[in-house]
Amino acid sequence: MNCTYCSTPVPDGAVFCHQCGSLVYDSEGQAAMSASLTDSGVRNLTTLLREDIKDEFEIIRQIGRGGMAVVFLAREIHLDRHVAIKVLPPELTFGQGIERFKREAKTSASLDHPNIIPIHRVASGGLIFWYTMKFVEGKSLEQVLRETQSMALREVTHILRPVADALQYAHERQVIHRDIKPANVMVDTKGRVMVTDFGIARALGERTLTSSGVPVGTPHYMSPEQATGLPVSPASDQYSLGVMAYRMLCGQVPFDGTSAVDILHKQCTLPPPPLNVLRPSLPDHVYQAIDKSLAKNPGDRFSSVTAFVEALRRHTSELRGWESAFYSSFEGRYGTPGTPRLKSRRTVRRLLRRLAVGLGVAVLVVAAGFGAWQLVLGRNVADSEAGAGGDLSGRTAPTDTVADSLVQEATPMIANLALADLPDGAVVRVDGVVATGTELELEPGQHTISIEATGYETITDRLTLAAGERLRYPFRAREIRQQPTEPRPLAPPPEPEPGFLRISARPWANVLMNGRFVEQVTARLDTVAPGEYNLRFERPGFISVDTTVTVQSGQLTAILIRLTQGTP
């Protein structure tokens, strides 16, 4: 057979193409996927979807095609709201594809975080599987990077912080994304940042379809341990986030190549090109943080994704001078991602207030001197006019309107919220976004405050703050008494890890496995228990073939049978 990607003939039993290095063990499935995602294939998929959703949704248009699904914009008729519908093509509703798709929906639906796109509903028809999720109107970070190439450090940290918050939330619930890349980060029209596509996310300790050691992910953003099929951890997502930050800062990924194998080899063996050469003049702590996040050994990286982003943000909030005010140009393009302005303009406001107060004092001093001079001059004039019999009753003292306006302008335009008595490890969210520290500067108006702490009930309050107000907010949650836990029963011994059996017949044949008819196939990939299997290949007009294969745990076993014409 030929490689799907470069059409080079592939030797029987080969897992990688010898020309381009692409995975070819599932080339028939890849070819079916490519055929299903052509324009005619999408039209057929749209017809099947319309038959399945009937009067519940109205399809508006297609908004994306991914590696294993097509996404449509639709209107949910009963609730009159726009949603995105993700659909798995019929050609992929077999083998690993459908199980991975179901797991994507289940995993995404279990994560409730303001920076994770929520799942509304999961459903399946006769030939297709689909689910609906919140429609985010905006651009992916991939689209933004294609337009801007690279970003300022402040822009990078403003986008990475909500992404890290979302990943940290998932990691605390034992879920790893495993495919962090700009295409899976959305920036909506209001500047909010959201993470999507937990399609290959993996719950820690869960046995998955990829446990055989076959790498799953995007090669340019894949960690070394993921590339080699080793167990993944939150540090794997951190590595991908570090690659994304590297590209946002300098406009290119650390490693590129002519094939997936070439890229993965570099991820595992080579150090990334020095960022200080590609993007000089950044603070030293930025280069150090990027290098640490891209360490080959997971144990040498930061303790968490949020610790990595905080290391990038170090000193960023301490910028001085008028240049810090111009970052607002980014807000005009994309908004202020993922933060309720807790610190986004703090430095600018402080500078403006100090400048206004300084100018106000200077004007008052000048005005006082001018008033004293006028007083002396007025007395002299009054004396001369009094000597001439003049009337001074209609005169009024001058007012300093300029100084009054400057003093008024210097009035604080923010409110301060002081959090007190917080227990260790408490997580504070303001308007749904995680806040750091106990002294928060907020814009005047209403804010939703929630505090979560282990062993305490969650607090959720809605506060209204006035400009210049300082409010002390003590933690007063009720402690949850821990119930005595019963000893857990001993876990049963782990089941042996399954293996993979790939059956190919040239030409097609009816396949019997251990005497049981499987199906009429040209190629088939199954997940089977380890052991020995008797296979028989039959086709009218051809000589039948009997053979025996042994499948080992976690290994891929491939067999190709070529039938010859003749009497069975």
Q: Could you read off the pLDDT of 282-304 as tens digits, one per residue?
A: 999 999 999 999 999 999 999 99
**Residue 81 confidence (pLDDT):** 92
**Residue 358 confidence (pLDDT):** 54
**Residue 42 confidence (pLDDT):** 78
Q: Which helix (H) or strand (E) holds 434?
A: strand 433-435
Is 52 an active-site residue? Answer: no
Structural domains in the chain, sorted by start: 27-134 (3.30.200.20), 138-334 (1.10.510.10), 339-377+407-479 (2.60.40), 499-562 (2.60.40.1120)
**Residue 303 confidence (pLDDT):** 95
214-217 contacts at long range (C-beta below 8 A, 24 or more positions apart): 214/23, 214/556, 215/264, 216/178, 216/179, 217/178, 217/179
**Residue 110 confidence (pLDDT):** 82
Phi, psi of 234 (to 5 degrees): -55, -25
**b/e code 300-309 from CB counts within 10 Å (16+ = b):** ebbebbbbbb
Q: Which residue has the tokens 């009753």?
A: 393
pTM confidence score:
0.53
Residues of the chain with pLDDT under 50: 4-5, 13-16, 18, 20, 24-36, 203-214, 315-349, 351-352, 356-357, 361, 363, 365-366, 370, 373-412
**Residue 74 confidence (pLDDT):** 94
Residue 548 burial by Cβ neighbours in a 10 Å radius (0-12, 13-18, 19+): exposed
Distance CA 152, CA 155 (A): 5
**Residue 516 confidence (pLDDT):** 86
**Residue 207 confidence (pLDDT):** 39
26, 52, 179, 197: the active-site residue:
179
**Residue 377 confidence (pLDDT):** 43
Distance CA 36, CA 48 (A): 13
**Residue 204 confidence (pLDDT):** 43
Structure token pair of residue 475: 């933690």
